[in-house]
Amino acid sequence: MSDTIKNVKLADMPAYELVKAGTGGCAGCPSPMGLRIVGKALGPNSIMVMTPSCAVASIGVMPKSCYDVPVLNVCFASAGASAAGISMSLDAQLKNGALSGEKPTVFTWVGDGGTYDIGFQGISAAAERNDDFIHFCYNNEAYSNTGVQRSGATPKYAVTTTTPAGKESQKKNVPLLMLEQRIAYVATASLAYPLDFYRKVQKAKSIQGFKYIELHAPCGPGWKFASSDTVELARLAVKSGAWLLWEGEHGKLTLNAPTKQLAEGKMPCAELEEYLKLQGRFAHIMKSTEKAAAIEAMKSEIRREMDFMLGREKL
């Protein structure tokens, strides 16, 4: 249930809808769910850059689009370069008088495939140049739109069409790379904590320079769970420690609730098995004789990451 949100002030969020109803996304899709909150935080004076993904496939059929702001769908490797170019061009036009008023917020909405793997160099370069835009990675932990291939964000053990026996390697940690790049602002977020996500997007909007926000985005068809369970999966990921909530400004790290309390042992973690057993992509583990060992290995990875982040927070 919704014990993740206390004293909700959802009423303060604007009614503005960036996503028009009747998208091409699957029932229960995390992408429009996240984008609706992004729209409420950024407002309509925004420009969105996308790369091939479910979010692009969801747009609908020309001449209709489900997105209420100008959208550029660019080639996979170039989200970072394209968003940087748009932002620089706006700066130039504001300077020479071709444009006036508030600068539109330039942001990307890119999958984990487009962020962790194919688009990484362009995003990393924009981070290093401190280009003025927000990069959003909605992380559904696979190349969902092309039929669920493994990506650099797919967790170990998960079955995808290219890891039929379960993935053997650990996932990358791109948010941590961004933290160590000491960019203007970096945050992780969860669909189960919409107010935390909203606050982080608003904060990113208020900061000049390169911002990176990664939203954990459980995908029913990709992870094999029911369409009604998207938020439940997002919540269990945070409560079990499989997904950590934190933010960093110029390298200064802050762990957010409830990750902080879980990491400090002030609150017990939810059983990881509760999270795993709802997902068909881990069913082979649940049925295997190695189940206990695999879950132990996953838990010790979580403990290691929590200890690492607690130590990193002191820097």
Partner 1 sequence: MNNLPINPLSCATEGAGGPTGTWRSHRPVIDPAKCTGCLLCWIWCPEGVIAKEDRSINYDYCKGCGLCAKECPAHAITMIKEADHE
Ligand X SMILES: Cc1ncc(C[n+]2csc(CCOP(=O)(O)OP(=O)(O)O)c2C)c(N)n1
Work out which of 6, 61, 165, 268 binds partner 1, going by CB under 8 A.
61
> C-beta of 180: minimal distance to ligand SF4 in Å?
28
Work out which of 115, 140, 188, 240 binds Mg ion, going by CB under 5 A.
140
Q: Give the pair of three-digit tokens for residue 32.
A: 């429009």
54 binds ligand SF4 (CB under 6 A): yes
Q: How far apart are CA 228 and CA 24, in angstroms?
A: 17
Q: How far is CA 19 from CA 65, 91, 254, in A?
A: 9, 27, 31
> C-beta of 178: minimal distance to ligand X in Å?
17
Q: Could you give phi then psi for residue 253, rounded to 5 degrees? A: -95, 140
236 binds ligand SF4 (CB under 6 A): no
144 binds ligand SF4 (CB under 6 A): yes
> C-beta of 246: minimal distance to Mg ion in Å?
21
Q: Give the pair of three-digit tokens for residue 197.
A: 């996500």
Work out which of 64, 95, 287, 314 binds partner 1, going by CB under 8 A.
64
Phi-psi map region of 32: left, alpha, beta (phi>0 left; psi -120 to 50 alpha): alpha
Q: Which helix (H) or strand (E) holds 301?
A: helix 291-313
Work out which of 143, 185, 198, 210 binds ligand X, going by CB under 6 A.
143
Q: In what order do the strands lie in the sheet with 246-249?
A: 71-73, 46-50, 105-111, 133-139, 210-216, 185-190, 246-249, 252-255
Q: How far apart are CA 217 and CA 166, in angstroms?
A: 20
160 binds Mg ion (CB under 5 A): no
Phi-psi map region of 251: left, alpha, beta (phi>0 left; psi -120 to 50 alpha): left
Residue with tokens 């029913």: 220
228 binds partner 1 (CB under 8 A): yes
Site string for ligand X, 59-78 (x = CB under 6 A): -----------------x--
Q: Give the pair of three-digit tokens for residue 313.
A: 């927070």
Work out which of 231, 262, 295, 302 binds partner 1, going by CB under 8 A.
231
Q: Could you give phi then psi for residue 283, rounded to 5 degrees? A: -60, -35
108 binds ligand X (CB under 6 A): no
Contacts for 11 with CB less than 8 Å, ≥ 6 apart: none
Q: Which stretch binds ligand SF4 (CB under 6 A): 119-127, 198-206, 219-227, 245-253?
A: 219-227
Report the partner that residue 52 touches, choosing among ligand X, ligand SF4, Mg ion, none (CB closer than 5 to 8 A by kind).
ligand X
Q: Which residue is nearest to ligand X (CB)?
A: 111
**Do the Cβ atoms of 150 and 160 come closer than 8 Å?**
yes
Bridge partners of 162, per DSSP, are none
Q: Which of residues 25-54 bind partner 1 (CB under 8 A)?
A: 25, 27-30, 32-33, 36-37
Render 5-20 in DSSP notation, one character per residue.
-SS--GGGS----SB-
The sign one gets for the Cα dihedral 19, 41, 47, 151 is negative
Work out which of 4, 18, 19, 31 binds ligand SF4, going by CB under 6 A.
31
Nearer to ligand SF4, 53 or 78 (CB): 53
List residues near Mg ion by CB under 5 A.
Answer: 111-113, 140, 144
List residues near ligand X by CB under 6 A.
Answer: 52-55, 76, 111-114, 140, 142-146, 151
List residues near partner 1 by CB under 8 A.
Answer: 1-2, 5, 8, 10-11, 13, 15, 17, 19-25, 27-30, 32-33, 36-37, 58-68, 191, 194, 226-232
